[in-house]
Amino acid sequence: MRRVRYEHSGGPEVLFTEDVPVPAPGPGELLVRVEAAGVTLPVVRKVREPRDPIPLGGEIAGDVVSTGDGVSGYAPGDRVTGLCFGHGYAEFALLHTAMASPVPDGASAVDAVALVRSGLVAYGALDAARPLEGEAALITAAASGVGHLALRLARLRGASRVVGAVSGGAAGPGKADFLRSLGADEVITYDEETWGEPVDYVLDAVGGELLTPAVRALAPHGRLVAYSSGGGTVQAYDLLVGAKSVIGFQMALIARGRPEVYETWRRELWRLFSAGALRPAVHMEFALEDAAKAHAVIEARSNLGKVVLIP
């Protein structure tokens, strides 16, 4: 089978395709013939980190080929999606049943990859903000695979005003049109001096230096939900003066420690999808051999929605 990996850190150019044997599923694992694999910013960032190479994992979707010992509830031929911690940029991948879920009829593998993991992060971050009907929301990285779903979900959860925040540059005007088509009332860029009227909560997927203007954008008693892998620091005084709060959110903790919540969110996402209320946007589909091009799109922050590999 073909898979993508790298041998040393660097930019997209370090990725290459190789032929390797098809893996065998271990206890509790599914061998999946991958029809679609998602490309995410955290994985793109890890390729650049000065560390030993890691498997390029992430969201996958496809058909179950075989099962390992102790597997129940899944059989060959089932359509599944889930988070692969091993090599996911591949024609075949191993998926643990704890991270797997069925793909309903009427949804494609690309739909599943674009909706489930990104949608779960978006839904969970929004839930952590404890949104109330009529509140105003601001979403950073709003045109990303997670961000565009978070923006739409905020509107569905009753936000009276939704602001999308994006990077500037040549892609800026296209992002603004894209986000307004999803229901954004306003679109701002990170480099603007002010981010408009205060909001009640911010869902931040960027971190770093953006945390300061994100906190500043909050109204008194506002909440910032930080779910970025980008780090950053918040000054306690900036929280104190407006009785503001920062809430950290990590999807893995929910999946491992509160599986019943994870499952409730997943079912709600598919319900909204089936009702036509929530449809993920896919920026572009790439072949495995073009994984470097897919990473380059993510690094340039030029994507409008999800970037997907098609083995």
Q: Is residue 260 part of a domain?
A: no
Beta-bridged to residue 2, according to DSSP, are 19
Same domain as 83, residue 41:
yes
Instruction: Please report the DSSP string for 16-53 in residue order.
Output: EEEE-PPPPP-TTEEEEEEEEEEE-HHHHHHHHSSS--
Question: Which one-letter DSSP state was computed for residue 286?
Answer: E
Count of the separate structural domains present in the chain: 2
Give the closest residue to 12 by CA, choosing from 311, 262, 215, 292.
292
Q: Is residue 94 part of a domain?
A: yes
Q: Is residue 26 part of a domain?
A: yes
CB atoms within 10 A of CB 271: 12
Q: What is the reported pLDDT for 169?
A: 66
Per residue, what are the HEC states of 136-194? EEEEECCCCCCHHHHHHHHHHCCCCEEEEEECCCCCHHHHHHHHHHCCCCEEEECCCCC
Distance CA 171, CA 144 (A): 12
Same domain as 162, residue 129:
yes
Whole-prediction pTM: 0.90
Q: What is the reported pLDDT for 90?
A: 98
Distance CA 105, CA 89 (A): 24
Distance CA 8, CA 3 (A): 16
Same domain as 306, residue 227:
no
CATH number of the domain encompassing residue 94: 3.90.180.10
Q: Is residue 112 part of a domain?
A: no
Beta-bridged to residue 309, according to DSSP, are 37, 286
Report helix, strand or coil for 126: helix
With beta carbons less than 8 A apart as the criterion, state whether 84 and 58 touch.
yes
Q: What is the reported pLDDT for 19?
A: 98
Residue by residue, pLDDT tens for the chain (311 residues) are 999 999 999 999 999 999 999 999 999 999 999 999 999 988 999 999 999 999 999 999 999 999 999 999 999 999 999 989 999 999 999 999 988 999 999 899 999 999 988 999 999 999 999 999 999 999 999 999 999 999 999 999 999 999 999 987 655 678 999 999 999 999 999 999 899 999 999 999 999 999 999 999 999 999 999 998 778 999 999 999 999 999 999 988 887 788 899 889 999 999 999 999 999 999 999 999 999 999 999 998 899 999 999 99
Domain that holds residue 231: 119-251
With beta carbons less than 8 A apart as the criterion, state whether 211 and 234 touch.
yes
